[in-house]
Amino acid sequence: MARFIFITGGVVSSLGKGLASAALGALLQARGFTVRLRKLDPYLNVDPGTMSPFEHGEVFVTDDGAETDLDLGHYERFTGVAARMTDSVSSGRIYSNVLEKERRGDYLGKTIQVIPHVTNEIKDFIRIGEDEVDFMLCEIGGTVGDIEGLPFFEAIRQFSQDKPRGQCIFMHLTLLPYMRASGELKTKPTQHSVKELRSIGIAPDILVCRSEGPIPQKEREKLALFCNVRPDAVIAAQDLSSIYDAPLAYHREGMDQAVLDAFQISPAPRPDLSIWEDVADRIHNPEGEVRVAVVGKYTQLEDAYKSIAEALTHGGMANRVKVRAEWIDAEIFEREDPAPYLEGFDAILVPGGFGERGTEGKIKAAEFARTRKVPYLGICLGMQMAVIEAARNLADLGDAGSEEFDHEAGKKRFTPVVYHLKEWVQGNHKVSRKLTDAKGGTMRLGAYDAVLKAGSKVAEVYGSLAIEERHRHRYEVDIKYREALEAQGLKFSGMSPDGRLPEIVEVEDHPWFIGVQFHPELKSKPFAPHPLFRDFVRAAKENSRLV
């Protein structure tokens, strides 16, 4: 049976609970334990799939097709454990399940209440797969004191009582603000946060305190005394220059040892941290730098492209270079010539997105990369824009565009080189979709196979003719334009197994120009960079030496 670690947050949001959870998972793995990480989000959306990236950052997609919080991306990147649909749940999903059961009559006429019905549903979710791993780490979204989070806090309190003594512990992450005027590190916000947690029946076993610098011994002792934790369970979480320093930094602070002590696991296996030492070495000792322009529409919030930023970092680590990603708003290119903005870059990446805003700018970025022989990686919408650019400028389809933009505008303006995907094969069955379907969870989501063309650039990059990648889209490049585009040098080098859906295009007679319909960034890890990002950065590195 798994031991459970519940990670909560206090004082302010965005302190890095997800990163702390992921780093702890990596440390427990380094000691030979198996782990699974879970996220319980208090918001009422069923999942983040319909949220704006400005609201919530990127949507992370699992192999089994769940749209989840971006923290699951951290979990995967640090532990290598593929997340599942059962590793993410929101209040919306919980309440939806409870109401469905009530409508079916599952509760036999009882009055439905937060306790026990909602809390039981949360506990049932936490129990899924508990016999599969040594440790289950469950992060509770939001901050203690949030009204919408109360059912989750109550559920984990009950859960810890349901389990045998010593099978659950609580880790609380807070902020120690530094008052520059008085030169003091303040512990009072943390004390109040723990007081709030204890008022709902949860006493933290471990306190993780975010701070700009080290925590003096006097403050540690004060926190231990007033928050009723052991002094060696007060863990300092200082600001780091790279998130990939977190496992080593938390180990030096004794986080993994504090967890094992809380569970009374002794003697504990010694950790093998060689993977993270190598990661840190590659991060901090690059042998050069490359500049990559990311031309997107959500550039004001870097979390909107979190996995892309991390995958570029991983590609840099594989090539021993630092990748300086610079975010450029695609809408600028709809008003101005892209050349002055893009000429200094070693490579160009156009990420995914939804809606017409900024797409003409993305098309111009693809044209610049193709004509100037600059390495180009187009992801999802970025691939579609590259195809539209080639159709317009090479294949004499001057009005080439996407049905997505016509649907958004409510009138026909383009020849639909990209169309609304109405039918596709998933496993052994056929999936059908209509434009009028509800938006949530109706895209082509999750892992799908693709077959690569022998002798193509992507086959060389992957070192294989068969791949599996994660998708999140509802529009697709139309296969009927393949012949006209291939005659102009845009090759369809990756297809779905049934040969109906284009997965990858690449430009012949170009150093590196690849567009993919899937999201390779979602499977990249610091210790296992994705092949496409590894080779894209290699091409950028080569290009930087030509300049």
**Sign of the dihedral through C-alpha 466, 469, 474, 475:** negative
**Sign of the dihedral through C-alpha 308, 377, 367, 406:** negative
- Binding positions are 13-19, 71, 139, 146-148, 186-191, 222, 240, 353, 381-384, 404, 474
- Binding positions for UTP are 13, 186-191, 222
Q: How far is CA 174 from the centre of its chain?
A: 23
Query: 18 and 71 in contact (C-beta within 8 Å)?
Result: yes
CATH class of 287-417+482-493+501-544: alpha beta
Residues with Cβ within 8 Å of residue 201, at least 6 apart in sequence = 154, 157
Burial of 254: CB neighbours in 10 Å, binned 0-12, 13-18, 19+: middle
Distance CA 364, CA 358 (A): 10
Residue 440 or 367, more confident: 367
Query: 287 and 321 in contact (C-beta within 8 Å)?
Result: yes
Cα distances (Å, whole numbers) of residue 461 to 88, 125, 427, 469, 531:
32, 40, 26, 14, 6
- Binding positions for ATP are 14-19, 71, 240
DSSP β-ladder status, 415-420 and 502-507: unpaired
Residue 144 or 439, more confident: 144
Same fold, 3-279 and 287-417+482-493+501-544: yes
Coil vs helix vs strand at 220: helix
Which range among 87-91, 297-301, 329-333 shows the weakest confidence by mean pLDDT?
A: 297-301
Determine whether 521 is an active site residue: yes
**DSSP per-residue string spanning 523-534:** G-BTTB--HHHH
The pLDDT of 273-291, averaged and rounded, is 95
Residue of 225, 175, 239, 227 lying closest to 196 (CA atoms):
227
Pick the catalytic residue: 117, 251, 519, 530?
519
Element (H, E) at 426: strand 423-426
Structure tokens at 239: 């600001």
pLDDT score, position 440: 63
Determine whether 473 is an active site residue: no
Distance CA 246, CA 302 (A): 20
Structure tokens at 73: 């991306």
Pick the catalytic residue: 380, 403, 469, 471?
380
469-480 pLDDT per residue, tens: 999 988 999 999
pLDDT score, position 547: 45
Determine whether 380 is an active site residue: yes
SS3 content of the chain, % helix, strand, coil (to 5): 40, 25, 35
Residue of 136, 135, 127 lying closest to 155 (CA atoms):
127
Burial 9-27 (b: 16+ CB within 10 A, else e): bbbeeebbbbbbbbbbbbb
Distance CA 358, CA 369 (A): 17
Residues with Cβ within 8 Å of residue 191, at least 6 apart in sequence = 223, 226, 227
Half-sphere exposure of 40 (CA within 13 A, CB side): 30
Whether the predicted pLDDT of 250 surpasses 50? yes
DSSP β-ladder status, 347-350 and 289-296: parallel
pLDDT score, position 438: 62
Q: What percent of the chain has pLDDT over 70?
A: 95
Residue of 476, 459, 463, 462 lying closest to 518 (CA atoms):
476
Query: 308 and 525 in contact (C-beta within 8 Å)?
Result: no
69-97 pLDDT per residue, tens: 889 999 999 999 999 999 999 999 999 99
Distance CA 254, CA 19 (A): 16
- Binding positions for Mg(2+) are 71, 139
Q: How far is CA 267 from the centre of its chain?
A: 35
Cα distances (Å, whole numbers) of residue 17 to 207, 267, 365:
12, 28, 37
Q: What percent of the chain has pLDDT over 90?
A: 74
pLDDT-derived band of residue 56, with 50, 70 and 90 as boundaries?
low
Provide the whole-model pTM: 0.92
pLDDT score, position 427: 67
Q: State the greatest distance between any 2 C-alpha atoms of the chain, in Å, as a whole number.
A: 75
- Binding positions for L-glutamine are 353, 381-384, 404, 474
99-120 pLDDT per residue, tens: 999 999 998 889 999 999 999 9
Pick the catalytic residue: 58, 121, 360, 521?
521
**DSSP per-residue string spanning 442-507:** -SEEEEEEEEEPTTSHHHHHHTSSEEEEEEEESEEE-GGGHHHHHTTTEEEEEE-TTS-SEEEEEE
pLDDT-derived band of residue 357, with 50, 70 and 90 as boundaries?
confident
* Residues β-bridged to residue 236: 209
Residue ranges covered by each domain of the chain:
3-279, 287-417+482-493+501-544
429 φ, ψ to 5°?
Answer: -135, 165
> Which CATH homologous superfamily contains domain 3-279?
P-loop containing nucleotide triphosphate hydrolases (3.40.50.300)
